[in-house]
Amino acid sequence: METLFKGLTVDLAIFIEAAAAAIIGLAALQATVRAISVFARPRESEQSKEDVRLRLGRWLALALEFELAADILRTAVAPTWNEIGQLAAIIVLRTALNYFLQREIDKARDRGFGAAPA
């Protein structure tokens, strides 16, 4: 039973990582299409450019949360002290990235850019 649970947990972690990769890929594709559209029109406003950046940032923040969830699942199966240390480092890095992304999004919203979430 324990082996089955461990296998399902690892499979779930792989699925969540794949979902994060899909989110990143689709967000990058969307941002690329929007950026080309914005840059193709030279008179496009700064707000349009900022919207592209902020939408991508929001999607990346979501993908970071998915990646963190996958790491936690993977480590929960059979943690060693080494794996726990690696997870702690990953959590710190991803949380810091997410914090600064969110700070940028909040600053832009305060300036009047990107008021509507993606």
The model's pLDDT over 8-51, given as tens digits with 9 standing for 90+, comes to 998 999 999 999 999 999 999 999 999 999 888 877 677 788 88
The dihedral built from the CA positions of residue 33, 39, 42 and 44, taken in this order, carries a sign that is: positive
Residue 105 domain-assigned (yes or no): yes
The pLDDT of residue 118 is 44
The pLDDT of residue 114 is 57
Residue 117 domain-assigned (yes or no): no
Residue 116 domain-assigned (yes or no): no
Domain count, the chain: 1
The dihedral built from the CA positions of residue 51, 53, 59 and 62, taken in this order, carries a sign that is: negative
Q: Is residue 49 a contact partner of residue 113, using CB atoms and an 8 Å limit?
A: no
CA 69 to each of CA 30, 86, 87, 90, 105: distance values in angstroms, whole numbers, following the listed order: 24, 14, 11, 11, 22
Range(s) of the domain holding residue 77 = 2-110
Place 113 in a pLDDT band, splitting at 50, 70 and 90: low
Place 97 in a pLDDT band, splitting at 50, 70 and 90: confident
In one-letter notation, the amino acid at residue 58 is R
Residue 45 domain-assigned (yes or no): yes
* pLDDT tens per residue, range 62-92: 998 999 899 888 888 767 888 888 888 888 9
Residue 118 domain-assigned (yes or no): no
What is the C-alpha separation between 10 and 64, in angstroms, rounded? 18
